[in-house]
């Protein structure tokens, strides 16, 4: 074996709510450019400066070869994440107008109504398993509103993404492929529905993609529009779910923070930013170097997959003081990279922020989060976050 390719950590090791970050803290200290032999081998950049360096060099560190560790793109290319600039640019150009402040203001009343509807049974019951009862349902309903879908189609998408994520967690490649193809079928239904019931492309993202032009002036290929919608389904469903789960567990464990945010709701937007830094749900977004590179004295060869571990970078003690603590109005909070940087920075960041803020406003406005009941179950790569947790709620 190549002596560079040591087994520095096991990404499949069982984890609890704090163990992954304890490992990353240790690795940043003595092995910040780490290697794992899992999934045919990959590198992991754990320091903030290294992750940011790769993100700021999109011409060298490309996403079109492998966009996530482990590699799960078995069933087709999905723009914009699977493409490099300038090929990815027309897809982002079509989608970006749907994530403006004006669009979020227009969407917020529906998101708030959905949030209240889903929280009511949990509040009435005095709590429960928040992931199955709330966090995994919310993105599906919001996705339906964003894409103007029927609730039934949105829930079919949600149920399929749950199976897809479980397949990723269990490294079941056959089930990953099977559910990925099912997600393509659902994305195809969205396109067919929009063709049958056209919308103003300024108001509907599917219509905008179907009418968008590529760099050659031609309509975007329909198979790649299909891939774009398929990509948005997964990114939009999984990350918010595990992220909200983390926030609720943290509030249950820190009554002083829960009380402060409940009594001073104006602090909630600042809390959302700190939670994004503290509980960043991504640790597997990948890049591939177009030529041999070096990080931290370790040689990474051309075409070797590199995981950019945002979840570690956002707790780098060289950048963030008291990195494992929750600090409201952190002076350099704008440095966090929960949504990435550069041309592939998450287009949906405004929607994610709004969903997190509205959830906290509606929850803390009506209940106290008083504790946990039972074990907290965590995801594995490529996400980091809460897969299952029972939270106790007390009506105000």
DSSP codes, 154-168: HHHHHHHHHHHHHHH
DSSP state at residue 37:
-
The pLDDT score that the predictor gives to residue 110 is 95
Q: Which of 71-85, 163-177, 192-206 has the highest mean pLDDT?
A: 192-206
Query: Crossing angle for the helix pair 222-253 and 255-263, nearest 10 degrees?
Result: 110
Q: Which CATH class is domain 19-395?
A: mainly alpha
pLDDT, one tens digit per residue, over 100-147 is 999 999 999 999 999 999 999 999 999 999 998 999 888 888 888 899
Cβ–Cβ under 8 Å, residues 120 and 367: no
User: Averaged over 177-184, what is the pLDDT?
Assistant: 86
pLDDT, one tens digit per residue, over 325-370 is 999 999 999 999 999 999 999 999 999 999 999 999 999 999 999 9
User: Averaged over 370-375, what is the pLDDT?
Assistant: 95
- Greater pLDDT, 177 or 286: 286
**Burial class of 217 by CB neighbour count within 10 A (0 to 12, 13 to 18, 19+):** exposed
User: Averaged over 187-201, what is the pLDDT?
Assistant: 93
User: Averaged over 317-324, what is the pLDDT?
Assistant: 98
The pLDDT score that the predictor gives to residue 165 is 67
Phi, psi of 358 (to 5 degrees): -65, -40
CA distance 44 to 66: 14
The pLDDT score that the predictor gives to residue 164 is 75
Kindly indicate the confidence band of residue 72, based on its pLDDT and cuts at 50, 70 and 90: confident
Cβ–Cβ under 8 Å, residues 183 and 230: yes
pLDDT, one tens digit per residue, over 151-172 is 788 778 878 877 876 676 666 7
Instruction: Looking at the chain, list the stretches that DSSP marks H as alpha helix, in order from N- to C-terminal side.
Output: 19-30, 48-55, 89-95, 101-125, 130, 138-147, 151-169, 173-196, 205-211, 222-253, 255-263, 268-278, 310-313, 349-364
Query: Crossing angle for the helix pair 138-147 and 349-364, nearest 10 degrees?
Result: 130
Closest residue by Cα to residue 52 from 295, 291, 347: 295
**R_g of the chain, CA atoms, integer Å:** 21
pLDDT, one tens digit per residue, over 77-97 is 788 888 999 999 999 999 999
- Greater pLDDT, 144 or 195: 195
Q: How many CB atoms are closer than 10 A to CB 319?
A: 18
Closest residue by Cα to residue 369 from 360, 378, 379, 377: 360
Q: Is the pLDDT of residue 75 over 70?
A: no
User: Averaged over 186-205, what is the pLDDT?
Assistant: 93
The pLDDT score that the predictor gives to residue 1 is 67
The pLDDT score that the predictor gives to residue 301 is 97
Closest residue by Cα to residue 186 from 205, 208, 159, 209: 159
Cβ–Cβ under 8 Å, residues 258 and 367: no
User: Averaged over 203-227, what is the pLDDT?
Assistant: 94
pLDDT, one tens digit per residue, over 265-311 is 999 999 999 999 999 999 989 999 999 999 999 999 999 999 999 99
Q: How many CB atoms are closer than 10 A to CB 61?
A: 21
The pLDDT score that the predictor gives to residue 201 is 96
- Greater pLDDT, 167 or 385: 385
Task: Tell me the CA distances in angstroms from 230 to 62, 104, 335, 370, one per residue in order.
Answer: 21, 22, 30, 38
CA distance 110 to 116: 10
User: Averaged over 204-228, what is the pLDDT?
Assistant: 94
Kindly indicate the confidence band of residue 382, based on its pLDDT and cuts at 50, 70 and 90: confident
The pLDDT score that the predictor gives to residue 158 is 74
Q: Which residue has the tokens 């929960």?
A: 338
Q: The pTM is what? A: 0.94
Q: For strand 286-289 and strand 61-62, is the pairing parallel, antiparallel, or unpaired?
A: antiparallel
Side-chain-side CA neighbours of 131 within 13 Å: the count stands at 25
Q: Is the pLDDT of residue 150 over 90?
A: no
């Amino acid at each position: 074996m190549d002596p560079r390719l040591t087994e520095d950590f096991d990404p499949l090791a069982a984890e609890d709510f704090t163990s992954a970050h304890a490992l990353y803290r240790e690795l940043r200290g003595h092995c910040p450019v780490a290697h794992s032999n899992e999934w045919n081998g990959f590198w992991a950049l754990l320091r903030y400066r290294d992750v940011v360096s790769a993100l700021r060099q999109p011409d060298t560190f490309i996403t079109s070869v492998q966009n996530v560790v482990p590699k799960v793109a078995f069933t087709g290319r999905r723009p914009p994440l699977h493409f490099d600039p300038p090929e990815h640019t027309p897809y982002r150009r079509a989608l970006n107008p749907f994530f403006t402040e004006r669009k979020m203001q227009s969407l917020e009343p529906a998101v708030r109504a959905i949030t209240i509807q889903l929280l009511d049974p949990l509040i009435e019951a005095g709590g429960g398993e928040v992931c199955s009862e709330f966090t995994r349902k919310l993105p599906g309903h919001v996705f339906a509103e964003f894409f103007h879908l029927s609730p039934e189609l949105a829930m079919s998408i949600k149920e399929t993404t749950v199976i897809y994520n479980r397949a990723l967690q269990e490294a079941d490649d056959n089930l990953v492929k099977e559910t990925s193809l099912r997600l393509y079928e659902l994305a195809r239904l969205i396109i067919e529905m929009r063709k049958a019931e056209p919308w103003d492309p300024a108001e509907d993202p599917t219509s905008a993609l179907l009418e968008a032009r590529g760099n050659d002036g031609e309509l975007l290929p329909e198979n790649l529009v299909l891939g774009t919608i398929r990509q948005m389904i997964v990114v939009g469903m999984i990350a918010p779910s595990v992220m909200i789960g983390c926030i609720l567990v943290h509030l249950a464990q820190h009554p002083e923070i829960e009380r402060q945010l409940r009594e001073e709701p104006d602090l909630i937007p600042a809390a959302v930013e700190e939670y994004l830094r503290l509980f960043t749900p991504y640790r597997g977004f990948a890049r591939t170097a177009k030529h041999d590179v070096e990080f931290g004295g370790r040689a990474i060869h051309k075409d070797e997959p590199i995981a950019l571990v945002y979840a570690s970078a956002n707790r780098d003690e060289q950048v963030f003081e008291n990195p494992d603590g929750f600090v409201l109005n952190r002076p350099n909070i704008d440095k966090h990279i929960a949504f990435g940087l550069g041309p592939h920075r998450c287009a949906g960041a405004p929607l994610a922020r709004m969903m997190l803020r509205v959830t906290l406003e509606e929850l803390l406005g009506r209940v106290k989060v008083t504790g946990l009941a039972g074990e907290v179950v965590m995801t594995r790569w490529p996400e980091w976050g809460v897969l299952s947790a029972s939270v106790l709620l007390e009506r105000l």
